[in-house]
A and B are shown apart, each in its own frame.
Chain A
Amino acid sequence: EDQVTQSPEALRLQEGESSSLNCSYTVSGLRGLFWYRQDPGKGPEFLFTLYSAGEEKEKERLKATLTKKESFLHITAPKPEDSATYLCAVQAGGQNFVFGPGTRLSVLP
């Protein structure tokens, strides 16, 4: 069964304090790994897709990387507006996405 775990469950950072979020997955035949951002009371918003080990994607202060067993979302010099829940999801053989529980990030000014 495809599984996704994320750590830490919650993370509090000071503005400018860089850190990384982890997504570990177990899947047969990974087609893609995806990162989403979800603000309170909103639906998830797409950030990145990673397809193969060694791949990296960047967007503003965020960089996502992928290995054969896990993905990292690196946040460089975060700002309060980066506060959100970050969700990781994998797509295997089917058309559905398996999401992890998310990491709640709080960036304090």
Chain B
Amino acid sequence: DAGVTQSPTHLIKTRGQQVTLRCSPKSGHDTVSWYQQALGQGPQFIFQYYEEEERQRGNFPDRFSGHQFPNYSSELNVNALLLGDSALYLCASSDAAQGLNTGELFFGEGSRLTVL
């Protein structure tokens, strides 16, 4: 049973560029959430997708956008990259009927973004 998979695992960009990160949820899961984790900090909620729509958003600027596809996979896009966007980007999947009420989010191993 494949868990949450994310790609790429590592990438380096320069300021002003754009980046797209991808996530495939755990089999049977229909909800995808994205988190940003800076070094030495806890994950911070970016947004959540369910039924191909953004359902909730954290305190992140519009430079951060996303998409969910009919197969439940998701993309996170960040435009006009800043040095402060350097972080581990985590995707978490859950079953809307169960996971959000139990806390059992299943996380991928993350995409490490470095902005130079």
Contact = CB atoms under 8 A, between A and B. Distances in A.
Contact of B107 (A45, A48, A95, A101): A45
A43 B4 CA distance: 10
Interface residues of B, number: 26
B110 interface: yes
Contacts, number: 61
A43 B33 contact: no
Q: Contact size class for A?
A: 20 to 34
Chain A contact residues: over half helix, strand or loop, or mixed? Answer: strand
A46 B92 CA distance: 11
B42 A96 contact: no
29 contacts: A4-B42, A34-B103, A42-B109, A42-B110, A43-B107, A43-B110, A45-B107, A46-B103, A46-B104, A46-B105, A49-B102, A87-B42, A87-B43, A89-B103, A91-B100, A91-B103, A95-B33, A95-B48, A95-B100, A96-B33, A96-B48, A97-B45, A98-B45, A99-B42, A99-B43, A99-B44, A100-B42, A101-B41, A101-B42
